Amino acid sequence: MSDDAADVQRVLGGDVDAYAALVDRYYDRCARFAVRMLGNRDDAEDALQATFLRAYKALNRYQERDRFSAWLYRILVNQCRSLAARRAHRERVFVREEALLLNAPDRAVGWTGEDEEFVQRVLAELEPLLREAFLLKYIEELSYEEMSALTGVGVSALKMRVKRACDRLRERWERIKDD
Amino acid sequence: MTESDDQTYVEWIAREARRPVVMGPAARTRIMDAVRAEPAPRRRFWHRLIEPRLISASPIASLALAAGLVGIGVFGGTFVNNRDGLTSTGLPQAVPALPIARVPVSDTVKVMTFRFIAPQAAKVSLVGDFNGWSVDETPMTRVDNGGVWSVTVPLSVGRHLYSFVVDSQDWIADPRAPVAPDDGFGHANSVVLVSRGSSS
């Protein structure tokens, strides 16, 4: 039995503290995806809170033969989608970090301390579904089959999204070079 | 501009985005605080049913329960509409769709039959909150070599979410039943309400 499965069984057996081990094990990875996907830490923290809470409440639906990480990630992806949709509905853009981003260097070389803000800005320019596919492929380094199981989207559609995301990034590179 | 420049740029973005992010120091604590405020998750329905437990009952109640077990077994058999549910004379016999069908019987558990049309499917199973969403626990049976798949299960009175899984991979909501709002797991589910009054 894996560490994850053992911890899940402990939680289902009434040991709530065992859930802290699962949170610790996956928090950093989930946080990275949520921040890259949502563009700021406040929304990411909301998504993480909702994800871990939802997973806890639904823990008896987790099947041991599945990877806990994949199951948790599926919840996280859906939470990020929901949160992004609600945010779009409120027409709230990344106001908090806009001032930082406006001053971020828009150069192809020599990025230093502002690299993260710059990368965040570039990712935010991608359409959400393209950004999601790009992050799962290049940042989480999942296979297309894993991505398909996680998102419910077909492999060929995911390949197309990743390609389009890369195309968008390359187009941006062209604009930078032209400038 | 070269193809190599393009790829380098994409790889640079990916490399930078792979760096860990720093969250607020209290974020994990807040998660666990919220977790502790929730009721503890329970083991799956099937597991709870088959867990050994002590039951105390009066002699009269025991007799009533025994009579109920026999009655439900026969009653449930009438809903099993496939070849395995018929004797050589064509009469229905008490064949529980699942081994567990004889176990959990009370006025709060009803026998329900689910049917789904999937002529091309090689395998169909029923998943729901009542079986831990397990693809393997409740296989459906093809009826008369046609496109209709069926299974009969005991359900506790109340509201249940369920779906059909075709060939172990495609999760499909019941087209004849109300659909529950997206539960955040990426699949649409159907809703069945089980009342004390009747089975279906």
Q: Kindly report the nearest CA distance between residue B120 and chain A, in angstroms.
A: 20
Which residues in chain B have Cβ-Cβ distances shorter than 8 Å to A166? 10
3-state secondary structure chain B: CCHHHHHHHHHHHHHHHCCCCCCCCCHHHHHHHHHHCCCCCCCCHHHHHHCCCCCCCCHHHHHHHHHHHHHHHHHHHCCCCCHHHECCCCCECCCCCCHHHHCCCCCCEEEEEEEEECCCCCCEEEEECCCCCCCCCCECEECCCCCEEEEEEEEECEEEEEEEEECCCEEECCCCCCECCCCCCCCCCEEEEECCCCCC
Write down the mean pLDDT value for chain A. 81
Q: Where are the domains of chain A?
A: 1-92, 126-179
CB pairs A-B closer than 8 Å: 128
Q: What is the pLDDT of residues B36-65, one digit of tens each?
A: 998 888 665 544 444 444 344 455 555 565
> What pLDDT, on a 0 to 100 scale, did the predictor assign at position B103?
35
Test B23 with A58 for CB contact under 8 angstroms: no
Test B129 with A61 for CB contact under 8 angstroms: yes
The region of weakest confidence among A21-35, A71-85, A153-167, B105-119 is: B105-119
Q: Kindly report the nearest CA distance between residue A31 and chain B, in angstroms.
A: 7
B180 CB within 8 Å of a chain A CB: no
Identify the band that residue A114 occupies on the pLDDT scale cut at 50, 70 and 90.
low
Identify the band that residue B185 occupies on the pLDDT scale cut at 50, 70 and 90.
low
Q: Which residue has the higher pLDDT, A161 or B102?
A: A161
The amino acid that residue B178 corresponds to is P
Cα(A142)–Cα(A140) distance, integer angstroms: 6
Which residues in chain A have Cβ-Cβ distances shorter than 8 Å to B40? 11, 14, 16
Q: What are the b/e assignments for A135-152, b being 16+ CB within 10 Å?
A: bbbbbbebebebbbbbbe
Residue B87 contacts residue B93 (beta carbons within 8 Å): yes
Could you give the C-alpha distances from B87 to A169, B73, B78, in angstroms and in order? 67, 15, 12
Q: What is the pLDDT of residues A130-154, one digit of tens each?
A: 999 999 999 999 999 989 988 888 9
Stretch (H or E) spanning A175: helix A155-178
Test A169 with B10 for CB contact under 8 angstroms: yes
CATH number of A126-179: 1.10.10
Which residues in chain B have Cβ-Cβ distances shorter than 8 Å to A151? 186
Cα(A31)–Cα(A139) distance, integer angstroms: 12
Q: Is the Cα dihedral A167, A173, A179, B3 positive or negative?
A: negative
List, in sequence order, every residue forming a beta bridge with B86; answer none if it has no partner.
Answer: B92
Tell me whether the CATH fold assigned to A1-92 matches the one assigned to A126-179. Answer: no
Query: Which residue of chain A comes nearest to B6, CA vs CA?
Result: A170
B21 CB within 8 Å of a chain A CB: yes
List the domains of chain B with CATH numbers: 46-194 (2.60.40.10)
List, in sequence order, every residue forming a beta bridge with B191; answer none if it has no partner.
Answer: B161
Tokens of B92: 């229905």
Q: Kindly report the nearest CA distance between residue A57 and chain B, in angstroms.
A: 6
Mutation site, A173, A177, A179, interface B, largest B CB count within 10 A: A173
Q: Give the three-state DSSP class for A2.
A: coil
The amino acid that residue B55 corresponds to is I
Test A169 with B182 for CB contact under 8 angstroms: no
Q: Which residues have C-beta within 8 Å of that of residue B8, sequence separation ≥ 6?
A: none
**Does the pLDDT at position A36 exceed 60?**
yes
> Residue B66's Cα: distance from chain center in Å?
27
Which residues in chain B have Cβ-Cβ distances shorter than 8 Å to A16? 35-36, 40
CATH: 1.10.1740.10, 3.30.200.20, 3.40.50.720, 3.40.50.300. Which one for A1-92? 1.10.1740.10
Comparing CA positions, the residue from A57, A19, B41, B47 lying closest to residue A6 is A19
Which residues in chain B have Cβ-Cβ distances shorter than 8 Å to A12? 41-43
> What pLDDT, on a 0 to 100 scale, did the predictor assign at position B107?
65
Comparing CA positions, the residue from A122, A100, A128, A101 lying closest to residue A172 is A122
Q: Kindly report the nearest CA distance between residue B198 and chain A, in angstroms.
A: 28
Test B35 with A75 for CB contact under 8 angstroms: no
Q: What is the pLDDT of residues A169-179, one digit of tens each?
A: 888 877 766 66
> What pLDDT, on a 0 to 100 scale, did the predictor assign at position A150?
86
Q: What is the pLDDT of residues B145-167, one digit of tens each?
A: 778 899 999 888 888 888 888 88
DSSP assignment of A91-149 = T--SHHHHHHHHTS---SS---TTHHHHHHHHHHHS-HHHHHHHIIIIIS---HHHHHH
Q: Which residue has the higher pLDDT, B5 or A55?
A: A55
**Does the pLDDT at position B114 exceed 80?**
yes
Residue B103 contacts residue B50 (beta carbons within 8 Å): yes
Which of B13, B32, B41 has its CB closest to that of A122?
B13
Tokens of A160: 């197309």
Which residues in chain A have Cβ-Cβ distances shorter than 8 Å to B133? 61, 63
Comparing CA positions, the residue from B44, B37, B183 lying closest to residue A9 is B44
